[in-house]
Structure 1
């Protein structure tokens, strides 16, 4: 998936990098959408800030953990880095334990619009065995109500959980929080790991495309090589699962074999032109470059298509 706020860049030949062009090549393509209106997302949903040393844990004052607060009287939040005590993170390199030194609520307050339907997702894992927690949402200073069923997971794998919440009338700030229900061994301060959390508006992937004439001519000439770069950013508030990007070549362009690569984001590296062996391919039949983006993308998965608007064609 493309996490909220995550960006990817793809460089390729033909539709993304090309030869055999005549006329003038465009510098920037028009895209739709160009922005995401009314987007709402958490801050620091993966607990990546502040960074702590590798394979370690830290008890930190909530004022030093961007976005997050706790009702604990000592204001401590417990962060772990991946691999500490043999526990890997679900995403990134850090995650949180729900209670640091005392039973409390870990939460984040976000501005909301009454009537909005917001989605939430999180990854949860037990520490010493099977742990159970719950999601609670409502107005700060008011009664927080449970969203969905209790979340229960063991300590051998991360479980992913999702839900929705409709903002009631008059509620312009919403508190999104978590409480431990139980933990293996009975100690509420030991267990209930959290990672990869989102709460907000739906995914909104914005794509943009630029072109560079590597041969230096302006306008482009027959035989010039053009490098096309397509960038896709999820500017929404929740992840965009297994997003794919497809871009057809314009007339007058010829694909340069072996030039397709992801240059930023998950899966960075060179891709083959063939289908079925990695995240991307060039299909000669329809003259289209396709790349599957984000965490969890495979050689075949791509649930949401991202296709930029057609760019102006080179004149012939």
Structure 2
């Protein structure tokens, strides 16, 4: 999950995207054959409002894998995002009922094209957890050279901001708060499941072009 809070633009710029869409990866809606077990599905990024993925699949891959009931059309190959419903592999979504896995099969950036004005101060928040151990993610603007921060998170939701990664390049005046661990519970089926997520937040000033 990624959340960003941006300042409003004048009405003349109303058609420019100024904030993130589909923050909790709730679209498209996926249905698990067995709700108590959840499901996963690799979905073409064109099916996710606002989101794009740099993780490409070879033409020989064919239909994207997964065991959810997807909304048509799923697509066959392209830039895929692996989405999970809550309870898949025992993991409860941070909010809502779905979330996305980073670097699931093919390493690639998950991003949105958002207009940020030069000199603008931006507040942000995102949640992250490790899948089977401690995972490190990078949050940046425009390119990896303009890093907001890197977060290192375990499967229990205990996270830390990697030392020396809070702001570089055209990202200036960055503040990175110590992440907090949030435990979420799902009791919609047996057994009741709980998962920990690290909530990261902070601010930065963008000094690149608008």
1:144–1:66: structure 2 CA closer, same or farther, 3 Å change rule? farther
Tell me the TM-score normalised to structure 1 length. 0.40
Match of 2:198 in 1: 159
Q: Relative CO higher for 1 or 2, CA cutoff 8 Å, sep ≥ 6? A: 1
- Provide the secondary structure at the position in 1 that maps to 2:81: strand
Deviations 1:209-252 (A, max 9, x none): xxxxxxxxxxxxxxxxxxxxxxxxxxxxxxxxxxxxxxxxxxxx
CA distance in 1, matches of 2:148, 2:4: 21
1:136 aligns with 2:136: no
- Provide the secondary structure at the position in 1 that maps to 2:89: helix
CA distance in 1, matches of 2:22, 2:107: 22
The question of whether the paired residues in 1 share the 8 Å contact of 2:4 and 2:123 is answered with no
Deviations 1:239-274 (A, max 9, x none): xxxxxxxxxxxxxxxxxxxxxxxxxxxxxxxxxxxx
1:132–1:123: structure 2 CA closer, same or farther, 3 Å change rule? same
Match of 2:19 in 1: 41
- Provide the secondary structure at the position in 1 that maps to 2:140: strand
CA distance in 2, matches of 1:95, 1:69: 15
Please report the RMSD computed on the Cα atoms of aligned residues, expressed in angstroms.
2.3
1:119 Cα deviation from its structure 2 partner: 1.3
CA distance in 2, matches of 1:137, 1:105: 11
Match of 2:107 in 1: 103
Structure 1 unaligned spans of 5+: 6-35, 173-316
Match of 1:89 in 2: 93
The question of whether the paired residues in 2 share the 8 Å contact of 1:79 and 1:97 is answered with yes
Structure 2 unaligned spans of 5+: 11-17, 33-37, 58-78, 157-195
Aligned residue pairs: how many?
135
1:124 aligns with 2:128: yes
CA distance in 2, matches of 1:93, 1:143: 30
Match of 1:145 in 2: 146
CA distance in 1, matches of 2:144, 2:153: 26
CA distance in 2, matches of 1:144, 1:43: 24
- Provide the secondary structure at the position in 1 that maps to 2:112: strand
CA distance in 1, matches of 2:207, 2:93: 34
- Provide the secondary structure at the position in 2 that maps to 1:72: coil
Match of 1:72 in 2: 55
